[in-house]
Amino acid sequence: MSNDRPVALITGSSSGIGAATARLLSERGYNVVINYSRSAEAADKVAAECEALGAQTLVQQANVAEDADCRALADSALERWGRIDALVNNAGTTRFCAHENLDGLSAEDFHTLYGVNTVGAFQMVRAVTPAMQQAGQGSIVNVASIAGVLGFGSSIAYAASKGALITMTKSLARALGPAIRVNAVCPGFVRGSWLAEGLGEKRYTAMIERLEANSPLARVCTPEDVAESIAYFAAGAGITTGETLLLDAGMHLGRM
Ligand SMILES: NC(=O)c1ccc[n+]([C@@H]2O[C@H](COP(=O)([O-])OP(=O)(O)OC[C@H]3O[C@@H](n4cnc5c(N)ncnc54)[C@H](OP(=O)(O)O)[C@@H]3O)[C@@H](O)[C@H]2O)c1
């Protein structure tokens, strides 16, 4: 199979931010690995959209919390195209629990969220690193969250798992240079099913109205906004590593 197009492996690309990233990178000349954990049909649909945009695709089920799945995902991409130019650690999960409700979270919740959001990303990095080092280049983009910067979001366990991912981004940037750059994007509220289902339609709509009224750019993020910044780190940003980019329409600044 021809290997002149760069290859991007995007975890959790059956919907939302991951799917938007797969489409954008396809448009920009990449072949893409579409990964899902449960949503096979949705992943096939994203792959068809990417192919219509000119990409070759590989669709593979993998639970990033399982190291063997992470290694199999990287191996499949290398077998197919012989290269991995960009890894986007986007797969994520949460549990919604009010921060005041300390009894609402168990140790197991922390382990589950860390297993996917933090350890999963680490395992994927470990799986792709030998090929990127051998090629002398590669870019890794971790999809963290504003929750990991400000300590809010769907639960304390979620915020902590994303905070750890941000710290890990800096450690890995130091450890994997000069060949590999490692950066993180931190979306704020993103339109889509993650929050619509997690908050319920009424709270979801009210939250959008509140954020639009209170953020300097008077809007909330879309999956396509996040994909733009991921693509920037994947293909551009040649001088930048260990960076954390906030994508929240300036909400973290607060309103005067
Ligand atoms: N939505 C927001 O407001 C927001 C804000 C900040 C950061 N983020 C982060 O953005 C990322 C994407 O979220 P999204 O909003 O696009 O949500 P989404 O539409 O629900 O997408 C989540 C994706 O992750 C996959 N996934 C979940 N667990 C997985 C696992 N163990 N192994 C492999 N894939 C797994 C899902 O696949 P299956 O359906 O097959 O399980 C799906 O493709 C997450 O890391 C999230 O923390 C989201």
Tell the residue nearest (CA) to atom 31 of ligand 1.
63
Active-site positions?
158
Q: Give the pLDDT band (50/70/90) at residue 27.
A: very high
Atom 30 (ligand 1): residue with closest C-alpha?
63
22: Cβ contacts below 8 Å, ≥ 6 apart:
8, 10, 13, 32, 34, 46, 49, 50
User: Domain coordinates of the chain in residue numbers?
Assistant: 7-190+222-247
pLDDT at 8: 98
CATH 3.20.20.70 fits 7-190+222-247, yes or no: no
pTM over 0.95: yes
120, 65 contact by CB (below 8 A):
yes
Tell me the average pLDDT across 186-190: 96
pLDDT band at 99 (very low <50, low <70, confident <90, very high): very high
Testing ligand 1's pocket by substitution, the residue of 73, 90, 169 carrying the most ligand atoms inside 8 A of its CB is 90
Residue 94 reports pLDDT greater than 90: yes
Q: How far apart are CA 251 and CA 214, in angstroms?
A: 7
Cα separation, 72 vs 241, in Å, equals 27
pLDDT in tens, 211-229: 999 999 999 999 999 999 9
Which protein residue's CA is at the shortest distance from atom 34 of ligand 1? 12
State in Å: Cα 256 to ligand 1 middle. Answer: 33
In the structure, what pLDDT confidence band is assigned to residue 256 with cuts at 50, 70 and 90? low
Pocket test for ligand 1, best of 116, 194, 220 (most atoms within 8 A of CB): 194
Q: Model confidence over 107-152: pLDDT tens digits?
A: 999 999 999 999 999 999 999 999 999 999 999 999 999 999 999 9
Strand-pairing partners, residue 7, are 31
Q: Identify the three-state secondary structure at position 114.
A: helix
- Which are the contacts of 206, defined by CB distance < 8 A and separation ≥ 6? none
Q: Three-state DSSP class for 161?
A: helix
Task: Show the tokens assigned to 248.
Answer: 């929240």
pLDDT band with cut points at 50, 70 and 90 for residue 236: confident
According to the model, what pLDDT value does residue 20 have? Answer: 98
185 Cα to the center of ligand 1, angstroms: 14
Helix (H, G, I), strand (E, B) or coil at 61: strand
Report whether pLDDT(55) > 70. yes
Pocket residues: Cβ below 6 A from ligand 1: 11-18, 35-39, 62-65, 90-93, 116, 143, 145, 187, 189-190, 192-195, 223
